[in-house]
Copies of this chain bind each other. A is one copy, B any other.
Amino acid sequence: MAEKTQHDSYPCEVIGHVESPFKEKFGIPRQPGLVAAEGNLRMLPPYDDPVMFEGLDGFSHIWLTFVFHANRAQGWQPRVRPPRLGGNARVGVFASRAPFRPNHLGLSVVELLAIDNRDGVRLRLRGLDLLDGTPVLDIKPYVPYTDGIEGAVGGFAPAAPEARLAVAFTAEAEAQLAGRSQLRALIVETLSLDPRPAYHADDPGRVYGVRLVDVDVRWRVVAGRIEVMGLPPTR
């Protein structure tokens, strides 16, 4: 990293926090909208005044500017290895949306389901790719005519990842999911994206854990498909 020079800095205050089913970084979808994960944005005072959100309910989607707070301690790198390139090729950090970036700012567009004003303001969201507890710095409406650019060219990420792995459950896991169809759907969607780091592909028997909602989903890859082995509670 080149020498550090002192520049102007702007303090950005947290205006709210995300309540998400993703309880740890491992397993979080790498872009919003890939998994129909639902959650909330809980506003902090004085940003929890319902008048600040008047008219937002006419928009189907919103932008969240947030902080990759769990990655700040590790600083930033000039080049990163995007999962989309198999984890081997490197690109410049500004050519990626990687969390290990200067200022650790994130940007995510999510579906706005509802604005709950019963006790402060809580935005109900779908399509989250954010860690539980993520601090949010700004909210803006998604404006289709300016944000949806026809003919834009997407470099090394020209289209959504199409390959999804099949997800099967052991009898034990299936029993643990009785009556929890929403959690089951979240597990299928999340694991079908194959959260394994690319450099683990040669270790197919390895057992992984992904914390979703209130369970620790234990899973492995068997013959090219995901097998969910069990889901002990995390709390």
- Residues of chain A touching chain B, judged by Cβ–Cβ distance below 8 Å, are 1-5, 7-15, 31-34, 44-61, 63, 65, 67, 78-79, 90-97, 101-105, 107, 109, 135, 137-160
Contacts and interface: CB of A to CB of B under 8 A. Distances in A.
Contacts of A45: 2-3, 5
Contacts of A63: 107
A51 to B, nearest CB: 5
A5 B97 contact: no
A189 to B, nearest CB: 15
Contacts of A47: 102
A59 B45 CA distance: 39
A148 B140 contact: no
Taking the full assembly, how many copies of this chain does it contain?
2
Nearest to A6: B13
Contacts of A153: 58-61, 144
A79 B91 contact: no
A95 B13 contact: no
Contact of A140 (B55, B107, B145): B107
Given A7-B13, A137-B103, A154-B145, A79 B51 contact: yes
A67 B14 CA distance: 16
B14 A149 contact: no
A1 B135 contact: no
A31 B148 contact: no
B144 A56 contact: no
Given A14-B8, A54-B79, A155-B58, A142 B138 contact: no
Contact of A46 (B1, B15, B67, B144): B1
Q: Lowest 10 CB-CB distances: which A-B pairs, in order?
A: A58-B155, A55-B91, A2-B46, A55-B95, A56-B95, A60-B153, A54-B92, A59-B155, A148-B148, A52-B92
A95 B65 contact: no
A7 to B, nearest CB: 5
Given A8-B14, A94-B141, 5 more contacts: A53-B95, A54-B91, A60-B151, A107-B140, A148-B150
